[in-house]
Amino acid sequence: MNLEQNRNEDWMKLKLSETNLYLTKIKLGGGKKAIDKQHEKNKLTPRERIAYLIDKDSTFTEIGSFAGFEMYEAEGGCPAGGTVAGIGYVSGRQCVIVANDQTVKAGAWFPITGKKNLRMQEISMENKLPIIYLVDSAGVYLPMQDEIFPDKEHFGRIFRNNARMSAMGITQIAAVMGACVAGGAYLPIMSDETLMVEGNGSIFLAGSYLVKAAVGEDIDNETLGGAVTHTAISGIADYKFPTEHECLDHVKKIMDKLGDHPKAGFNRTGARLPSKEMNELYSIMPEGNAKTYDMREIIERIVDASEFDEFKKDYGKTILCGYARIEGWAVGIVANQRLITKNKKGEMQMGGVIYNDSADKAARFIMNCNQKKIPLVFLQDVTGFMVGSRSEHSGIIKDGAKLVNAVANSVVPKITIIIGNSYGAGNYAMCGKAYDPRFIYAWPSAKIAVMGGEQAAKTMLQIQIATMKAKGEEVTADDEKKLLDELKQRYEKQTTAFYAAARLWVDEIIDPLSTRKVISEGIMAANHNIDTDKFSIGVFQV
């Protein structure tokens, strides 16, 4: 390993260490005192509940652990969006699990909580996976009710999805292990089966205090809506259990008896490890995403046996396309190439930029994968489409539109990994969040923005200086430098993987060595959904 590779590795491992440091704090939820209070009530934390529920030594792929990161500091924070969620295996069945975190503001729903829960339901619907809700929530966080209650993608959408998922034949199981209040009370009742824990689980539209204020009735919460009430009197719940462990054991029994469904039939053979050293993924990505590198070196450390069959290898060189296997699954890979190359005319092409020929090649390859029913994996490190008179006269917008059209209309599962830059329309063309990837992950090195920090800061600086001068203000060179530094710092913060993950622009920040696993688990999930629309490209300029 040379000096530059050593620097790259140190940088990537430092980014990964920073990620893990934040995760350690996030996983404490509301903090040690809140966890101790939970235990005093004979209640488990959401992470303890999930750990007990899933099969021993099985994979649990967490989704949205950074949700809400540094977003609600004035409110005391909302670690993981007040919900722990992901994809795991219960009684051998892959499923979605969503667990409210009562240690975070009593499990109340912040705006990001609603977005995260809707994302988990979306994953369940897109992949036809059973979903298990571990309910323990005080309902909407009232100080922010206007941002979570009335709109289309707000709290109420959860229950609309409950109804739609039921109609789609998706199994929904709700285990009520704590409070389930107000509108939230509809979630377990709209699930297929409802389980409750005696003494802690409760379901009601209004708690005892509100009942007293509204109708003058004196009643305790347990009598009003506890497990005995709802299993013996109202008939709302189906089962009651004295402990959480017994409740979770019964969830396992329900999952154990689910009937199987036809699979989509994506091709899979025996998995093989890459023949090239996977740990070298840390040293290939250049420090700060600032230099060129060969994307093939990344691909060959992700795919089985390091075998990558390139499509149109000598054409459109700034996007690599080809077939491979990941954990045995057949995949089509579309990846930005960061090397400076020559096109068929001998002209130099900058790495990470999408040119006419590379857009044309990638669109054709995506169509081929849809024709052959091969899932797509996008590896993003893109600075955007090529600009300038030569590209405009060659029809870059037209060729870019072809690629965007193909990505938007693709019906095979798409899984996106942002490993480096993800700027401007390049984010869209390479299947960013707006283009419905089944799953989208980021390496700690990822940067997502409309343009690079340097360019954006200089553009904003020019506008700001012009405004100041128009007001008659004098702007010195020192003033310009100070302004530029402030703008760069603010913009750079908004481009980080942490900022993106906090807002669920990506599902999770992953260790580069986990790339194979999350892709494999994603295709495994997608393989449950046999209902795929026919691929149709629509209208585009030729």
Q: What digits encode the pLDDT tens for the residues 362-404? A: 999 999 999 999 999 999 999 989 888 888 877 788 889 999 9
- Looking at the DSSP assignment, which residues form a beta bridge with residue 226? 202
3-class secondary-structure state, position 60: coil
CA-CA-CA-CA dihedral for 283, 285, 291, 294, to nearest 10: 100
Residues in the chain: 542
pLDDT at site 542:
61
Retrieve residue 481's tokens.
């430098």
- 329, with CB counted inside 10 A (0-12, 13-18, 19+), is buried
* DSSP conformation class of 238: S
User: How big is the CA angle at 123 (ends 103 and 94), to the nearest 5 degrees?
Assistant: 85
Spans of the chain below 50 pLDDT: none
Note whether 103 and 33 are within 8 A (CB): no
Q: Which stretches within 183-274 are classed as H helix?
A: 186-189, 208-215, 221-225, 227-228, 244-256
Residue type, 311: F
In sequence order, the β-bridge partners of residue 173 are 132, 193
SS3 172: strand
d(CA 168, CA 148): 26
pLDDT of 541 reads: 65
The neighbour count for residue 469, using CB atoms within 10 Å, is 11
CA distance readout (Å), 102 to 16, 27, 44, 81, 504:
28, 13, 10, 11, 21
Angle at CA of residue 130, ends 124 and 132, nearest 5°: 95
- How far apart, in whole angstroms, are the C-alpha atoms of residue 315 and residue 322? 12
CB 194 within 8 A of CB 176: yes
Closest CA to 109 of 22, 2, 187: 187
Distances in Å between the alpha carbon of 509 and those of 88, 253, 442? 18, 33, 5
- Secondary structure tally for the chain: helices H, strands E: 20, 20
Residues 523-534: tens digit of each pLDDT: 999 999 987 778
CA angle 270, 271, 274 (to 5 degrees): 145
Q: Can you tell me the distance from the alpha carbon of 51 to that of 61, in angstroms, rounded to the nearest whole number? A: 12
Segment (H or E) for 421: strand 414-423
- Helix (H, G, I), strand (E, B), or coil: what is residue 66? coil
Contact 157, 118 (CB under 8 A): yes
Among 163, 164, 90, 176, CA closest to 133: 176
Q: Determine the pLDDT at residue 537.
A: 80
Tell me what pLDDT residue 120 has: 98
Among candidate residues 371, 379, 489, the one with its CA nearest the CA of residue 441: 379
Q: What does the pLDDT read at residue 466?
A: 83
Report CA torsion sign: 451, 454, 456, 459: negative
Distance CA 302, CA 272 (A): 10
Q: Residue written as tokens 């250049």?
A: 286
Contact at 8 Å (CB) between 194 and 237? yes
Q: How far apart are CA 184 and CA 205, in angstroms?
A: 8
Cβ atoms of 306 and 296 closer than 8 Å? no
Question: Considering only CA atoms, which of 329, 322, 312 is closest in space to residue 267?
Answer: 329
| The pair of three-digit structure tokens given for residue 535, joined into one six-digit string | 């691929």
